[in-house]
Structure 1
């Protein structure tokens, strides 16, 4: 929910863009109303973007997308959906609701509190298309004339059937939420909306399934206390009737202090890697009503199948795996930051910008392996005189393992790759990129580490079975060379920046032999491509520039 709030005293303070913990999960912009999905083994969280909100209301027109595969380092994919750009009939895009079916992402979006549309994409990052060119749900439809026609939440059951939950209202508690069946195409309705009788219902409908039980959650109203809890009910079907069970999340409090100004909340619950997480928003970063931030905590099921109530939230959830620094890391992948912003990159994707001296980015739990890294490469553009990046371990002023000088490139859209030596960079550490220079010294697209022999660290932290790896591109030909350390299948692939496969190849390699494989991309457009070489569940990833 975005628009309808109980009036509270607003305390306006200067914007703060630094946090000493993992919550909120994104701090370079304000986000709210999280809707989490799992797609291709990553968690993606669609969020309302609060950056454009004035101090006394909401002006939400786009959705920010972030993702992670370790629950600690989050990649900012930018604003993937915007109105009226992506739906010409829509003026305000309040809380999003996304769901995956048949490898497609269906993004349900409200036009303020008056109607709901649907956009479709082949991947969470988009691009999204509005297949109907008009709303999917309107107040003129039977039993859809709720006070606030917003907060859509899609749900696909294990049998493949789809449902859409929606609604809310400040003067109609208990009878303002709805569910309607969706046809197989997920962009048309099947039948009439049903009323969900939910005690003190206010907004933020959501559905998830645990074992054979359906959990319908929502935010309750302000007629308490308690106020604006995430309450839940259970049932044996995705359709009413449900039995009220209590609360899964109280209005967020940390160390005994409310960090949400006692105001509204919106949550989604998702399973990832055998753990259950609840994503919600709070005001711990801004202390302002209309500048919210998305956080995440673990949820636990009691022995009787009910949800344990979170009476207090935490500073973050545990990291579930280490980060591989020998993969190409998008610069906008962040665990903690100070000062920076992100924006669309002229090379494609997202970049880090508005960098100033002593700003930093922290990456948590980076596994450099036992041999360690010896070189750092970074893709940067500078329309000024440039600067440098200090690579430090453990803390912002921790052990200095390298300094990479970045010269002016002649413009903010002129990108070049810079490199530097790295020393004493081994084991698992938090990595700090500390930025130096005057004004805005440079902008960053991506970076990576390499070692003397080109070895890579796998996601399990073991040394990769590929050695002496080189990847280069010249005159439309991408050439790879590597040595396999054992017998087994090696898979090679070239992908565009949207993740779509361009060409692949696989073969059985023998231990100790040096292989050279080439790909002819003369029919493909110039630009950047991703090259992946995978052997024994470990991989080498490179980003190359195709020229002609």
Structure 2
């Protein structure tokens, strides 16, 4: 881990002055280089599948594919690697080029170009993987142009696979999505077409977008009344910019608006501290698209020069009373992510040093506000602190959570601290402080309110699920819990933790058949003092409250 941290952490510390805290949307990801972004909307969530340029890449050095998700387009959760060149036994070790995932028939199909060896397809029952290769060979391999696949399913159910550089091709896929019928068709040459095709439909218009003439590449497009053409060239959605050699469009609709992805080199330039060297270290970015009355697309400005630059507005807000993965990030400095061995997370934030930070945008504390903050942490050193600040990196401090050494970087404990009551919607900054070297790892976080109001229910009025806790310190010590009806018949667990974050006991674990629980607490088993009671329903934590015996 210490070797891995050097490239990003120390370099990012040198460019702290570049960060504009109120506009931290592009590039979307700062913990990895993320070329070739390919969006997929599923269950009101944007799944952003990307390639991965290695930290030491000069040319194309790409071994695996990554996944990030968002429900608001600004806070992105890192899910780590979902596939690699090793997923294709016929592929080269280096060559995880552009890919796209699409759902159909209850499965998810991941089409990926493997350098110049063809386009393969992986299949999974989940958008998060694991993905496997059902063919054991390329689905399509028509020679040198066989890169940059994209798949489109029309309203009549017919699926099409497109690809190609310097010409575009398509073929009709069968319903199984892993075979095709008919001939491979070469699309007549379109002005500015270079590579990276993407199909999109709006109303009765079909759009073919692409990475335009290299180099630098912008985003060009054509329109048609059919997914097979003929196509009429319409110009540029975005002109190329000399600050980035490539691009990769991915047009999608989300919550009534339309967007396109692409990529820039801005993260690498900020780490380098200048623009003198342009390596293949690319980063996904996002822009909003609008349409003229005739369906044509007004030209967009370049994604921006700088790290960060303004991106798209947030759609919705983030609920701090749910358990939030620490790797859900709007913008960050210095930190990285890694595979987590804790039971409560696939990934965790690591490489945390003094002065690093994470920004989470649009956190809605509602009208009641919290009084407690919890963090799941691990440290193989002496630890450090998490300063909780709102609205800017040096804004109001609402709390400080002290993290002590836990004896290992994957020895996880839950720490808590009191917080100043804050209401309404704010950007939240986790500012990490401590001594020299690595401080700690960070898995998840959560705020709690003594009102007992916690998890979101989908009710636009707020959070309707309520649990109230009272303690009876009479001769027989008891804890009383009152549940709202929505929790009935769920599997409920009630646990106690001491102030160090270590579990002191499980008071209840069973299905809930009544809205009231009265749980006796053995006088001799617990010392008098302050404890945290945590309530989970169906394995999801819904309440944390500080109590005293």
Q: Considering the TM-score relative to the shorter chain, is it more than 0.5?
A: yes
**Equivalent residue, structure 2, for 1:117:** 120
Q: CA deviation at 1:54?
A: 2.2
> Is the aligned partner of 1:285 residue 2:237?
no
Q: CA deviation at 1:516?
A: 9.2
**Equivalent residue, structure 2, for 1:243:** 232
> Is the aligned partner of 1:40 residue 2:43?
yes
Q: Is the 8 A contact 1:325 1:457 kept in 2?
A: no
| Matched ranges for 1:283-432 at <5 A | 283-287=265-269, 288-313=278-303, 315-347=310-342, 348-432=345-429
Unaligned runs of 5+ in 2: 1-9, 270-277, 305-309, 470-478, 493-509, 520-534, 545-549
Cα pair distance change 1:90/1:75, threshold 3 Å: same
Q: Distance in 2 between matches of 1:154 and 1:542?
A: 43
**Equivalent residue, structure 1, for 2:102:** 99
| Matched ranges for 1:198-237 at <5 A | 198-222=190-214, 228-237=217-226
Cα pair distance change 1:399/1:182, threshold 3 Å: same
Q: Is the 8 A contact 1:17 1:337 kept in 2?
A: no
Q: Distance in 2 between matches of 1:330 and 1:204?
A: 32
**Equivalent residue, structure 1, for 2:70:** 68
Q: Distance in 1 between matches of 2:352 and 2:332?
A: 11
**Equivalent residue, structure 2, for 1:192:** 183
| Alpha-carbon displacement from aligned partner over 1:301-326 (angstroms, at most 9, x marks no partner) | 11111112213436210001111000
**Equivalent residue, structure 2, for 1:437:** 434
Q: Distance in 1 between matches of 2:145 and 2:429?
A: 45
Q: Distance in 2 between matches of 1:515 and 1:160?
A: 52
**Equivalent residue, structure 2, for 1:456:** 454
Cα pair distance change 1:532/1:276, threshold 3 Å: farther
Q: Distance in 2 between matches of 1:244 and 1:53?
A: 38
Q: Is the 8 A contact 1:52 1:60 kept in 2?
A: no
Q: CA deviation at 1:432?
A: 0.7
Q: Which moved more, 1:108-117 or 1:268-277?
A: 108-117
> Is the aligned partner of 1:273 residue 2:279?
no
| Alpha-carbon displacement from aligned partner over 1:86-140 (angstroms, at most 9, x marks no partner) | 222112110112211133221111110231100011222211111111111112x
Q: Normalising by structure 1, what TM-score?
A: 0.79
Q: Distance in 2 between matches of 1:324 and 1:491?
A: 25
SS at match of 1:296: strand
2:134 to 131, 136, 139: 131
CA RMSD of aligned residues (A): 3.1
Q: Is the 8 A contact 2:48 2:69 kept in 1?
A: yes
SS at match of 1:168: coil
Q: Which moved more, 1:36-45 or 1:240-249?
A: 240-249
Q: Distance in 2 between matches of 1:289 and 1:480?
A: 61
SS at match of 1:286: helix
Q: Distance in 1 between matches of 2:229 and 2:288?
A: 27
Q: Distance in 2 between matches of 1:273 and 1:337?
A: 26
Higher helix share: 2
Cα pair distance change 1:240/1:346, threshold 3 Å: same
Q: Normalising by structure 2, what TM-score?
A: 0.79
Q: Is the 8 A contact 2:85 2:114 kept in 1?
A: no
Q: Distance in 1 between matches of 2:200 and 2:214?
A: 24
> Is the aligned partner of 1:88 residue 2:89?
yes
Higher strand share: 1
Cα pair distance change 1:532/1:151, threshold 3 Å: farther
Cα pair distance change 1:58/1:272, threshold 3 Å: same
Q: CA deviation at 1:14?
A: 5.3
